[in-house]
Protein backbone atom coordinates (compact mmCIF):
# COMPACT_ATOMS: atom_id res chain seq x y z
CA UNK A 1 0.00 0.00 0.00
CA UNK A 2 1.53 3.29 -1.08
CA UNK A 3 1.85 6.33 1.18
CA UNK A 4 -0.67 8.12 -1.04
CA UNK A 5 -3.41 5.50 -0.66
CA UNK A 6 -3.26 3.87 2.78
CA UNK A 7 -5.80 1.26 3.79
CA UNK A 8 -8.06 2.62 6.54
CA UNK A 9 -9.89 0.29 8.92
CA UNK A 10 -12.62 1.57 11.23
CA UNK A 11 -12.93 0.01 14.69
CA UNK A 12 -15.31 0.96 17.49
CA UNK A 13 -15.42 0.92 21.27
CA UNK A 14 -17.80 3.71 22.32
CA UNK A 15 -16.02 5.91 19.76
CA UNK A 16 -14.60 5.05 16.36
CA UNK A 17 -10.85 4.63 16.09
CA UNK A 18 -8.78 3.87 13.04
CA UNK A 19 -5.97 1.62 11.84
CA UNK A 20 -3.88 2.83 8.90
CA UNK A 21 -1.78 0.45 6.83
CA UNK A 22 0.83 2.76 5.43
CA UNK A 23 4.59 3.05 5.17
CA UNK A 24 6.52 1.53 8.05
CA UNK A 25 4.21 -0.51 10.29
CA UNK A 26 0.68 0.29 11.42
CA UNK A 27 -0.69 3.55 12.77
CA UNK A 28 -3.59 3.77 15.21
CA UNK A 29 -5.60 6.97 15.56
CA UNK A 30 -7.04 6.91 19.10
CA UNK A 31 -7.91 3.67 20.90
CA UNK A 32 -11.59 3.90 21.76
CA UNK A 33 -12.86 3.26 25.27
CA UNK A 34 -11.16 0.81 27.62
CA UNK A 35 -11.07 -2.71 26.22
CA UNK A 36 -9.27 -5.94 27.01
CA UNK A 37 -6.00 -6.41 25.17
CA UNK A 38 -7.21 -9.81 23.94
CA UNK A 39 -10.22 -8.13 22.30
CA UNK A 40 -8.01 -5.57 20.59
CA UNK A 41 -5.69 -8.30 19.36
CA UNK A 42 -8.69 -10.21 18.00
CA UNK A 43 -9.97 -7.11 16.18
CA UNK A 44 -6.61 -6.73 14.48
CA UNK A 45 -6.51 -10.42 13.55
CA UNK A 46 -9.99 -10.18 11.99
CA UNK A 47 -8.54 -7.50 9.71
CA UNK A 48 -5.61 -9.74 8.86
CA UNK A 49 -3.26 -7.53 10.88
CA UNK A 50 -0.73 -8.20 13.62
CA UNK A 51 -1.06 -6.02 16.71
CA UNK A 52 2.70 -6.27 17.18
CA UNK A 53 3.16 -4.37 13.90
CA UNK A 54 1.65 -1.28 15.55
CA UNK A 55 4.31 1.45 15.49
CA UNK A 56 2.52 4.61 16.55
CA UNK A 57 -0.66 5.69 18.32
CA UNK A 58 -1.77 9.22 17.48
CA UNK A 59 -4.09 10.76 20.07
CA UNK A 60 -6.64 13.33 18.90
CA UNK A 61 -7.42 14.28 22.52
CA UNK A 62 -7.42 12.87 26.02
CA UNK A 63 -11.09 12.07 26.70
CA UNK A 64 -11.52 8.54 28.01
CA UNK A 65 -13.54 7.26 25.05
CA UNK A 66 -10.54 8.02 22.85
CA UNK A 67 -7.66 6.84 25.05
CA UNK A 68 -9.24 4.17 27.26
CA UNK A 69 -6.94 1.41 25.95
CA UNK A 70 -3.88 3.57 25.41
CA UNK A 71 -1.84 2.39 28.39
CA UNK A 72 -2.62 -1.30 27.79
CA UNK A 73 -1.52 -1.01 24.17
CA UNK A 74 1.60 0.95 25.07
CA UNK A 75 2.63 -1.75 27.53
CA UNK A 76 1.94 -4.57 25.06
CA UNK A 77 3.52 -3.33 21.84
CA UNK A 78 6.49 -1.24 20.74
CA UNK A 79 4.37 1.72 19.69
CA UNK A 80 5.08 5.38 20.31
CA UNK A 81 2.39 7.69 21.66
CA UNK A 82 2.00 10.99 19.81
CA UNK A 83 -0.11 13.96 20.94
CA UNK A 84 -0.26 17.72 20.58
CA UNK A 85 1.86 19.75 22.97
CA UNK A 86 -1.20 21.32 24.60
CA UNK A 87 -2.76 17.92 25.31
CA UNK A 88 0.29 16.36 26.96
CA UNK A 89 -0.46 17.66 30.52
CA UNK A 90 -3.86 15.96 30.46
CA UNK A 91 -2.49 12.63 29.24
CA UNK A 92 0.21 12.65 31.92
CA UNK A 93 -2.36 13.99 34.42
CA UNK A 94 -0.14 16.89 35.37
CA UNK A 95 -3.30 18.96 34.85
CA UNK A 96 -7.04 18.37 34.67
CA UNK A 97 -8.88 19.09 31.43
CA UNK A 98 -10.43 22.59 31.65
CA UNK A 99 -14.11 22.31 32.36
CA UNK A 100 -16.89 23.82 30.25
CA UNK A 101 -18.65 26.96 31.44
CA UNK A 102 -21.71 27.03 33.69
CA UNK A 103 -23.59 24.23 35.45
CA UNK A 104 -22.73 21.58 32.80
CA UNK A 105 -19.08 22.37 33.38
CA UNK A 106 -19.42 21.80 37.10
CA UNK A 107 -21.10 18.44 36.49
CA UNK A 108 -18.36 17.52 34.02
CA UNK A 109 -15.71 18.51 36.57
CA UNK A 110 -17.32 16.23 39.17
CA UNK A 111 -17.75 13.23 36.88
CA UNK A 112 -14.57 13.41 34.79
CA UNK A 113 -12.29 11.71 37.38
CA UNK A 114 -14.60 8.66 37.38
CA UNK A 115 -13.91 8.04 33.70
CA UNK A 116 -10.34 9.26 33.43
CA UNK A 117 -7.93 6.97 31.60
CA UNK A 118 -4.65 6.04 33.32
CA UNK A 119 -1.81 8.54 33.05
CA UNK A 120 0.66 7.88 30.26
CA UNK A 121 3.85 9.45 28.95
CA UNK A 122 3.91 10.93 25.47
CA UNK A 123 6.81 9.87 23.25
CA UNK A 124 6.48 12.49 20.54
CA UNK A 125 5.04 15.98 20.94
CA UNK A 126 3.14 17.35 17.95
CA UNK A 127 2.47 20.89 16.80
CA UNK A 128 0.09 22.38 14.27
CA UNK A 129 1.32 21.38 10.82
CA UNK A 130 3.51 18.52 12.07
CA UNK A 131 3.92 15.66 9.60
CA UNK A 132 3.82 12.27 11.26
CA UNK A 133 6.82 10.25 10.14
CA UNK A 134 6.03 7.03 8.30
CA UNK A 135 2.58 8.27 7.29
CA UNK A 136 0.98 10.93 5.12
CA UNK A 137 -0.79 12.43 8.14
CA UNK A 138 -0.54 16.11 8.98
CA UNK A 139 -1.64 17.64 12.28
CA UNK A 140 -4.39 20.26 12.22
CA UNK A 141 -4.66 21.86 15.66
CA UNK A 142 -8.36 22.46 16.39
CA UNK A 143 -8.50 23.62 20.03
CA UNK A 144 -11.67 24.11 21.99
CA UNK A 145 -13.05 20.65 22.64
CA UNK A 146 -9.84 20.32 24.62
CA UNK A 147 -6.86 22.69 24.41
CA UNK A 148 -4.76 20.22 22.44
CA UNK A 149 -7.44 18.64 20.27
CA UNK A 150 -6.26 17.79 16.76
CA UNK A 151 -7.69 16.57 13.50
CA UNK A 152 -5.46 14.61 11.15
CA UNK A 153 -5.35 15.35 7.43
CA UNK A 154 -4.08 12.99 4.74
CA UNK A 155 -3.50 15.01 1.56
CA UNK A 156 -2.81 11.96 -0.62
CA UNK A 157 -6.13 10.43 0.32
CA UNK A 158 -7.92 13.80 0.71
CA UNK A 159 -9.16 12.48 4.03
CA UNK A 160 -9.73 14.01 7.44
CA UNK A 161 -9.86 12.17 10.74
CA UNK A 162 -11.99 14.53 12.78
CA UNK A 163 -11.55 13.37 16.36
CA UNK A 164 -14.40 15.13 18.18
CA UNK A 165 -13.89 18.33 16.23
CA UNK A 166 -16.77 17.39 13.94
CA UNK A 167 -19.64 15.02 14.79
CA UNK A 168 -21.95 13.13 12.43
CA UNK A 169 -25.23 12.29 14.15
CA UNK A 170 -27.07 10.27 11.49
CA UNK A 171 -26.35 12.77 8.75
CA UNK A 172 -26.64 15.86 10.92
CA UNK A 173 -23.29 17.58 11.35
CA UNK A 174 -22.17 19.74 14.23
CA UNK A 175 -19.10 20.81 16.08
CA UNK A 176 -18.21 19.15 19.39
CA UNK A 177 -20.81 18.49 22.09
CA UNK A 178 -20.81 21.55 24.40
CA UNK A 179 -21.12 19.49 27.61
CA UNK A 180 -17.73 17.89 26.94
CA UNK A 181 -15.97 20.90 25.42
CA UNK A 182 -13.58 23.07 27.40
CA UNK A 183 -14.29 26.13 25.23
CA UNK A 184 -17.18 25.59 22.83
CA UNK A 185 -16.78 28.96 21.11
CA UNK A 186 -13.16 28.20 20.34
CA UNK A 187 -14.10 24.69 19.22
CA UNK A 188 -16.62 26.02 16.70
CA UNK A 189 -14.20 28.67 15.48
CA UNK A 190 -11.65 25.91 14.86
CA UNK A 191 -13.95 24.44 12.22
CA UNK A 192 -12.96 27.23 9.85
CA UNK A 193 -9.52 25.59 9.67
CA UNK A 194 -11.09 22.54 8.07
CA UNK A 195 -12.61 24.59 5.25
CA UNK A 196 -9.07 25.46 4.14
CA UNK A 197 -8.34 21.81 3.30
CA UNK A 198 -9.14 19.75 0.21
CA UNK A 199 -11.22 17.00 1.84
CA UNK A 200 -13.23 14.29 0.12
CA UNK A 201 -13.68 11.80 2.97
CA UNK A 202 -14.45 12.52 6.62
CA UNK A 203 -13.69 9.83 9.19
CA UNK A 204 -15.67 10.66 12.34
CA UNK A 205 -15.00 9.41 15.84
CA UNK A 206 -18.74 9.68 16.37
CA UNK A 207 -20.80 8.79 13.33
CA UNK A 208 -20.35 7.03 10.02
CA UNK A 209 -17.74 8.01 7.46
CA UNK A 210 -19.05 10.55 4.97
CA UNK A 211 -18.03 12.10 1.66
CA UNK A 212 -19.11 15.26 -0.11
CA UNK A 213 -19.27 17.85 2.67
CA UNK A 214 -18.74 21.29 1.16
CA UNK A 215 -16.43 24.00 2.45
CA UNK A 216 -19.47 26.26 2.79
CA UNK A 217 -21.08 23.84 5.24
CA UNK A 218 -17.88 23.64 7.28
CA UNK A 219 -17.67 27.43 7.45
CA UNK A 220 -21.33 27.70 8.44
CA UNK A 221 -20.90 25.22 11.30
CA UNK A 222 -18.39 27.56 12.92
CA UNK A 223 -21.19 30.00 13.71
CA UNK A 224 -23.97 27.55 14.59
CA UNK A 225 -25.05 25.88 17.82
CA UNK A 226 -27.45 23.48 16.04
CA UNK A 227 -26.63 20.54 13.75
CA UNK A 228 -26.85 20.88 9.97
CA UNK A 229 -28.41 18.12 7.87
CA UNK A 230 -26.08 17.06 5.07
CA UNK A 231 -26.79 14.85 2.08
CA UNK A 232 -23.33 13.30 2.07
CA UNK A 233 -22.29 10.07 0.41
| CATH code of 179's domain | 3.60.15.10
User: Looking at the domain assignment, is residue 97 inside a domain?
Assistant: yes
Number of domains comprising the chain: 1
- Looking at residue 224, its pLDDT comes to 66
- Looking at residue 1, its pLDDT comes to 39
Q: What is the DSSP string of the chain?
A: --TTS-EEEEEEESEEEEEEE-SSSEEEE--BS---HHHHHHHHHHTT--GGGEEEEE-S---HHHHTTHHHHHHHS--EEEEEGGGHHHHTTSSPPPPPSHHHHHHHHHHHHHHPPPP---SEEE-TTPBPTTSSEEEEE-TTSSTT-EEEEETTTTEEE-TTSSEEETTEEES--GGG-S-HHHHHHHHHHHTTS--SEEE-SSS--EE---HHHHHHHTT-SS-EE----
User: Looking at the domain assignment, is residue 145 inside a domain?
Assistant: yes
Least confident of 35-44, 93-102, 144-153: 93-102
User: Looking at the domain assignment, is residue 1 inside a domain?
Assistant: no
Per the structure, the complete domain to which residue 149 belongs is given by 7-229
Whether pLDDT at 230 is above 50: yes
- Looking at residue 24, its pLDDT comes to 77
Amino acid sequence: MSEQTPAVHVLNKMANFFVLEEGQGLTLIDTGNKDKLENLRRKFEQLGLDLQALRRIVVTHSHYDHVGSLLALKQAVAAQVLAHRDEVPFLTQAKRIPRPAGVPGFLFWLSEPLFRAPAIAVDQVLLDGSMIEGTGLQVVHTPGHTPGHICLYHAGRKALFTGDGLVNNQGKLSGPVPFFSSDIKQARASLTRLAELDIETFYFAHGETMRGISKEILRSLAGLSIPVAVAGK
